[in-house]
Amino acid sequence: MNAKVKKITAATMILMSSLVLASCGFGGHSSSSKDYTTTGSGGGNYQGVIQNGRYKTSKARGINVSQNDNQYNLKSFENGLTQVSKRVFSPKSYIFQEGQYLDTSTLEDWLGRKTKNNPSGLNPAEGKRSNPNPIYIQQIEEQDYMEESGNSMKLKGMTIGIGINSEYNYKKKDDGPSFTKKISDAEVKRQGEIAAAKVLKRVRQKSGVGDIPIVIALYKQAPDDSLVGGSFFAYSKNSGSTISGWHQLNYKTVVLPKASGTTSSTGSASQTDNDSFSNFKSQIQSFFPNLSGVTAQAQYKNGQLNGMHITVTTQFYSQSEIASFTQYIARAAKKYLPNGIPIDIRIQSDSEMQAIVYRDAGSDTFRTHILTSY
Amino acid sequence: MNAKVKKITAATMILMSSLVLASCGFGGHSSSSKDYTTTGSGGGNYQGVIQNGRYKTSKARGINVSQNDNQYNLKSFENGLTQVSKRVFSPKSYIFQEGQYLDTSTLEDWLGRKTKNNPSGLNPAEGKRSNPNPIYIQQIEEQDYMEESGNSMKLKGMTIGIGINSEYNYKKKDDGPSFTKKISDAEVKRQGEIAAAKVLKRVRQKSGVGDIPIVIALYKQAPDDSLVGGSFFAYSKNSGSTISGWHQLNYKTVVLPKASGTTSSTGSASQTDNDSFSNFKSQIQSFFPNLSGVTAQAQYKNGQLNGMHITVTTQFYSQSEIASFTQYIARAAKKYLPNGIPIDIRIQSDSEMQAIVYRDAGSDTFRTHILTSY
């Protein structure tokens, strides 16, 4: 079915609908002569590709969920990958498209162990059951970066993230105890670079990829029991089929408040931030009875605090308690939490979110929104 | 313990703390010579009372949860009660305090059936098991409205909400089938007015209430299986011990989209709103695969749409899918949904909220916030 026929079919379906809908696209680049539009941009984010009125989903959609026992690793990997992409492919010039060149079965093979039946596995054969080789490569995700060209979108760049485990959990017997092998940072880096070289070569050969720049980014997975995901530590921008060199990335994620007595590996800045957060926490806990928990994920970039996600878990509150508490938290956040970084604070019970307080990057105002009901 | 001693104790506790905390209040009315501060105001909302650094919770805290099988009734009752209060006690002049005059055991007695052991029960004795008298009065909540007076807060007004059932569910035998009695609007009104007269008389006699204005507001409960709460239908402002007359309130809540073929009881405005919402729903469902549901609660005031809460339930999305979808929803909302009213749109999976898109009252901009993770 060529593009023209597709468009006519889509138009007919809309006319057949009993609802009076405007034409399917209303993005910034909508026009009656195109199959593609975009989701619209704003705030330094990418526009996404809409094809014939539908969002263009990944060829490997859903595989990422099964790749991670710890969903923090999944979210931080995906968000971090977009941040790395922004260093190379500016949202002002490029349009984001979910990965179209690596499909689910390809990635499943790559993420498996290398065996006779799976020669493309990036992980080593298991070896001895009593002392198995680790699964090093845990997740892979592709992002495509596009430019409009006449009536279509042309691939102009690609980013591929590779997540490498920092520990490996295994059993010597099915019903036996669990063992954990720590994987050193040096080994994480080495395994990542080995995998990156193979991935780059394979992706470059895919039909339609051509000589676009391919960015490969390496991510160190957090342990399965971590309350925060891992971090990207290096990326490479490549015009050929071999890795052209690595740029280091200095991200670090921590959970606050730190257990007392923990030695800080992020230096004194982190101690100051931990104190600020502890003050904030004490302030709101003294204000309100029955707060179950106040915790934060903090991200550091080059040793400086880069953002926080705070979760306040409440016991049941009435609607007026939630309203008063939200007002109070917004004021406490402004007073006690570090300036100049994006922060969000989720106020939630066990069963549902009750309110959100947040400050965007570049803003000095905390906004509040209470989730009420009629 | 007098007020001075209390303050010194609080001050000592703060000094003893290992954390350097600023003095406990930072509300708009904080001062070193007061036991009371407030949560701070903004956007036409009430400030709440903070006493010695702690939020002053209700004397009947938590009872409201057990009063309602349908939590929509609870939330809409509490939010609606504050809206009624704003008609009489302006947030510019009055400070909100959780109810301090009706405690849990008092309200439990009042909400019970009238028996020898419970002469103050507002509901009738059960009567015949095979044809029992309904429980009419389902929930009661007190709100206090204060003014600052020197170093303390003085009670200057009170609002009491009374929720009356629109149906009564019962069993003739413990293990038998359930029966439902519908309660007519006329009977809801009659039972509400009877209860209001008793409640006003009793509250007026409470120590410390004096001759402040007492507002009684009547709320018709939605059925237990409703996906939206009920509405307030009348209120009375009283300076004495007898009801001085009723003001009618014309609120109505509905769930959108309406089942096709349903006859509208809110007139043609509602049909237009339902069409707008259906267009919005079709637009975003065609955009994205696997949306499980798009539903809304809508509130009408005097026949005009007054606000909407929309819930979009998603299957799993990657972080980039959530980001693109949120951008798209904000644009679709601006294009398809009615102007000039507050709207929020919750984007959530079965297990967690993923993003929120909202427009405040008086604003024409939809804001978005994506709930990400490090």
pLDDT at B238 over 90: yes
CA distance B270 to B255: 11
- The verdict on A367 touching B (C-beta cutoff 8 Å) is yes
| A327's tokens | 């007002």
CA distance A261 to A278: 14
Cβ burial, residue B208 (10 Å; 0-12/13-18/19+): exposed
Q: Which pLDDT score, from 0 to 100, does residue B269 have?
A: 57
The C-alpha of A300 sits at a distance from chain B's nearest C-alpha, in angstroms, of 10
In tens, the pLDDT along A138-196 reads 999 999 999 998 888 999 999 999 999 999 999 999 999 999 999 999 999 999 999 99
Beta strands in A192-289 (DSSP E): 214-220, 231-238, 247-248, 251-256
Say yes or no for a CB contact (<8 Å) between A324 and B374.
no
Q: What percent of chain B has pLDDT over 90?
A: 74
- The verdict on B287 touching A (C-beta cutoff 8 Å) is yes
In tens, the pLDDT along B120-138 reads 999 999 999 999 999 999 9
Least CB–CB distance from B327: residue in A42, A286, A373: A42
What is the pLDDT of chain B when averaged over all its residues? 87
pLDDT at B1 over 70: no
- The verdict on A280 touching B (C-beta cutoff 8 Å) is no
Say yes or no for a CB contact (<8 Å) between A331 and B50.
no
Q: Does domain A39-249 have CATH number 3.10.570.10?
A: yes
For residues A219 and A77, is the Cβ–Cβ distance under 8 A?
yes
List CB contacts (< 8 A) between B47 and chain A: 327
Locate the domains of chain B by residue range.
38-249, 254-370
In tens, the pLDDT along A221-256 reads 999 999 999 999 999 999 999 999 999 999 999 999
Say yes or no for a CB contact (<8 Å) between B45 and A21.
no
Q: What is the Cα gyration radius of chain B?
A: 24
Say yes or no for a CB contact (<8 Å) between B286 and A47.
no
pLDDT at B101 over 50: yes
Which strands form B231-238's sheet, in the order they lie side by side? B95-98, B137-149, B152-164, B214-220, B231-238, B247-248
- The verdict on A261 touching B (C-beta cutoff 8 Å) is no
- The verdict on B19 touching A (C-beta cutoff 8 Å) is yes
Chain B 105-144, CB below 8 Å of chain A: which residues?
141, 143
| B350's tokens | 């079965």
- The verdict on A283 touching B (C-beta cutoff 8 Å) is yes
pLDDT at B2 over 60: no
Q: Which pLDDT score, from 0 to 100, does residue B117 have?
A: 96
Q: Which pLDDT score, from 0 to 100, does residue A290 have?
A: 75
Higher pLDDT: A263 or B84? It is B84
| Least confident range of A341-350, B5-14, B35-44 | B5-14
- Confidence tier at B63 by pLDDT (50, 70, 90): confident
Which of A318, A328, A359, A365 has the most B C-beta neighbours within 10 Å, making it the best mutation to test the interface with B?
A318
Element holding B138 (H helix, E strand): strand B137-149
Average pLDDT (B253-276) is 74
Question: Nearest 10 degrees: CA dihedral of A284, A286, A291, A294?
Answer: 50
Least CB–CB distance from B286: residue in A53, A72, A278: A53
Q: Which pLDDT score, from 0 to 100, does residue B53 have?
A: 84
List CB contacts (< 8 A) between B46 and chain A: 323
- Chain A residue whose CA is closest to B285: A54
List CB contacts (< 8 A) between A278 and chain B: 19
Average pLDDT (B216-236) is 96
Nearest to B366 by CA among B273, B349, B337, A26: B337
pLDDT at B12 over 60: no
- Confidence tier at B208 by pLDDT (50, 70, 90): very high
What homologous superfamily is domain B38-249 in, according to CATH?
Answer: sex pheromone staph- cam373 precursor domain (3.10.570.10)
- Confidence tier at B262 by pLDDT (50, 70, 90): low
- The verdict on A15 touching B (C-beta cutoff 8 Å) is no
Element holding A4 (H helix, E strand): helix A3-16
- Chain B residue whose CA is closest to A141: B318
pLDDT at B5 over 50: no
Say yes or no for a CB contact (<8 Å) between B47 and A327.
yes
pLDDT at B152 over 80: yes
List CB contacts (< 8 A) between A365 and chain B: none
| B20's tokens | 């350097």
Spatial neighbors of A372 by CB under 8 A, at least 6 apart, are A319, B75, B79, B309
- Chain A residue whose CA is closest to B228: A374
Per-residue CA distances from B94 to A76, B148, B215, B236 (Å): 45, 9, 14, 19
Over its length of 374 residues, how does chain A's per-residue pLDDT go in tens digits?
Answer: 343 333 333 333 333 332 223 333 454 444 445 678 888 766 788 999 988 888 999 999 888 777 888 999 999 999 999 999 999 999 999 999 999 999 999 999 999 999 999 999 999 999 999 999 999 999 999 999 999 988 889 999 999 999 999 999 999 999 999 999 999 999 999 999 999 999 999 999 999 999 999 999 999 999 999 999 999 999 999 999 999 999 999 999 999 998 765 554 545 558 899 999 999 999 999 888 778 799 999 999 999 999 999 999 998 778 999 999 999 999 999 999 999 999 999 999 988 999 999 999 999 999 999 999 99
Say yes or no for a CB contact (<8 Å) between A344 and B75.
no
Least CB–CB distance from B62: residue in A21, A48, A316: A316
CA distance A258 to A253: 12
Q: Which pLDDT score, from 0 to 100, does residue B351 have?
A: 85
| A–B interface: beta-carbon pairs under 8 A | 211
Which of B324, B325, B363 has the most A C-beta neighbours within 10 Å, making it the best mutation to test the interface with A?
B324
Question: Class of B254-370 per CATH?
Answer: alpha beta
Chain B 182-221, CB below 8 Å of chain A: which residues?
none
Least CB–CB distance from A299: residue in B327, B332, B374: B374
Q: What angle do CA B184, B186, B188 make, to 5 degrees?
A: 70
Least CB–CB distance from B373: residue in A21, A297, A324: A297
| Least confident range of B48-62, B237-251, B331-345 | B48-62
- The verdict on A236 touching B (C-beta cutoff 8 Å) is no
- Amino acid B140 reads I
CA distance B57 to A317: 10
ipTM over the 0.85 cut-off: yes
Average pLDDT (B287-291) is 80
- The verdict on A3 touching B (C-beta cutoff 8 Å) is no
List CB contacts (< 8 A) between A372 and chain B: 75, 79, 309
Phi and psi at B180, nearest 5°, equal -130, 130
